[in-house]
Each structure stands twice: as structure tokens, then as C-alpha cells.
Structure 1
């Protein structure tokens, strides 16, 4: 299950704005991106992850990603951060 690492992570970022900031600062180890998120939201994040060499894990839905992060709304992306 791809969400298990995210659920048990001590530090994480949730939401594309926070995840983008974490990747830019070199703090993100793994980025999760929902397949059903809008492309104009996720494309720049995919590009940034490629440039920075950050692992990207695609997950099925924003709803499931939000639940894995213990929030009540969907999330287009989330990241596990360096400890």
C-alpha cells in the first residue's frame, strides 16, 4: 500500500503549495501526487521533482491521499519530509 509510508511519517507536507516549497528547499524525500488532480496544478510539481531528483509516487485519488494525511478534504499532493 503506497499510503503506509505517508501515514507513519513523522514529518510531512500536505497540499501542492507546501509540497512545492519543501521540494524547492530540498526537504522532501518522497512526493505523492494524485492521478485525479488537475494537470495545471500537478505538472509544475512533477517538473520540479524531476529537476531535483525527488521520488514521485502516483496514487489513485485526491480523496484517498487526504485521508492518508488525516485531513477531511482531498489533496492533490503530499510529501514525506527529511527528519
Structure 2
């Protein structure tokens, strides 16, 4: 595999523009298609963000949960729990 890029000639660029113009004239590119694609992409991004927030929230809830403490052991040690007073 070569990392060199073939340099395009002026004729190749003009030819490419003509192909794109013809495609546009045939209706391959429409504003409605573009709007639909943008809307779909935004919805997918919102879904990814929602899933990421849910995962983060679940992880945080797991970290906040206090472990079960045997009341006899806690009384023997002289305090009510291992957690801090901050919540």
C-alpha cells in the first residue's frame, strides 16, 4: 500500500464536476434527502448520549450504594456505619 496520492489533472476535475452536476440534475441530491440525513444523524447522536448518561448514572448509583453492615459488628466497633456523613 502506498501513501502517495495521485495528482488529479484539470480534465479529471472538470469531468468529476460534470458527473456530480448530472447526478444533481437527475435528483440524486435533494434538500429533503439532506434534511432527512441530518435529522437521522441528530437522532442517533441523541440516542448515544442518552445511553451514555444512563450508563454513567448506573455506575454512579453502584458506587453510592453502601455495603450491608452487620449491626452486631457495628455495635461492637462503636459506630453505626462505615460510610461518611456526606451524601
Greater strand proportion: 1
Greater helix proportion: 2
Q: Quick check: which has more Rg, 1 or 2?
A: 2
- The question of a shared fold, defined as TM-score above 0.5 by the shorter chain, is answered with no
Q: TM-score, normalised by structure 2?
A: 0.18
Q: TM-score, normalised by structure 1?
A: 0.19
